[in-house]
Structure 1
Amino acid sequence: MHRFKELEIWKQSRVFCKDIYIVIANFPKSEKFGLISQLRRASVSIPSNISEGTSRISSKDFSRYLEMAMGSCYEVETQILLSNDLGFLKDTELIALQEKLTSIIKMISKFRSTINARIKN
């Protein structure tokens, strides 16, 4: 069992979620039930799945929650790209978010690989 508050992937994904909330504050009000809602939900899902996974007894279950967090990362990536395409997100904001998200994806992937290796042994 892991202490989620000590996990760097949880810390970084929480900061990333806050960053998403900050940039979407400038989106048009007409997107309240569109991209704003989707980005909030998907970005919150990343640290939430990591923390929920730590409560699971088996490493296999924890790995599954990390997989769900990874899916949310890719969902957010698609949504920020669309936001940029629509002019809601500046290129500089997109690049900064993509860099942070790529780092989180790499950390989750590496951590998940480590857990899966332990399951096989």
Structure 2
Amino acid sequence: MLEVKSYRDLKVWQLGMDLVHAVYEHTKHFPQSELYALTSQVRRAAVSVPSNIAEGHARESTREFLHFLAICSGSLAELETQLFIAERLQYLDSTALKATLGKCDEVGRMLRSLQKTLRVKLG
């Protein structure tokens, strides 16, 4: 098993970064009128995912890491909802929605697995 020395070693963080990249690529095409509304919210929610993984990993305790992973899960649910909104408003086509939700699902599964592992560690 690979030793985790940095949050950058975590596959879930790496996939979170890929998710941010995908979201930024898609939101480039949102209407200019949404720049300070939905575009900003979608981007913030996406950025929150790997950011909270990194911050939680840097904390002093497993319990704190779990807290930040819970925040991360909430941001992921927020992002998914905003992506559905973007599709309903026809800012995002169904192919892009499906691909991005697939990334969200993968990150979500990895988050839940990491949370489960950390809870076992807590006892």
TM-score range, shorter chain: over 0.9
User: Conserved in 2, the CA contact under 8 Å of 1:84 and 1:90?
Assistant: yes
* Corresponding residue pairs, total: 120
Separation in 2, partners of 1:65, 1:83? 27
1:40-76 per-position Cα deviation (integer Å, ceiling 9, x unaligned): 1110000000000011111000011111111100000
Structure 1 residue ranges (4+ consecutive) displaced by more than 2 angstroms after TM superposition: none
1:117 counterpart SS class: helix
Normalised by the length of structure 2, the TM-score is 0.95
**What amino acid does structure 1 have at the position aligned with 2:115?**
R
1:57-112 per-position Cα deviation (integer Å, ceiling 9, x unaligned): 11000011111111100000000000000000000000000111000000001101
2:80 counterpart SS class: helix
Normalised by the length of structure 1, the TM-score is 0.97
**Percent sequence identity over matched residues?**
32
Which residue of structure 2 aligns with residue 93 of structure 1? 96
Q: Does 1:15 align with 2:18?
A: yes
**What amino acid does structure 2 have at the position aligned with 1:16?**
L
User: Conserved in 2, the CA contact under 8 Å of 1:83 and 1:89?
Assistant: yes
TM-aligned CA deviation for residue 117 of structure 1 = 1.1
Which residue of structure 2 aligns with residue 83 of structure 1? 86
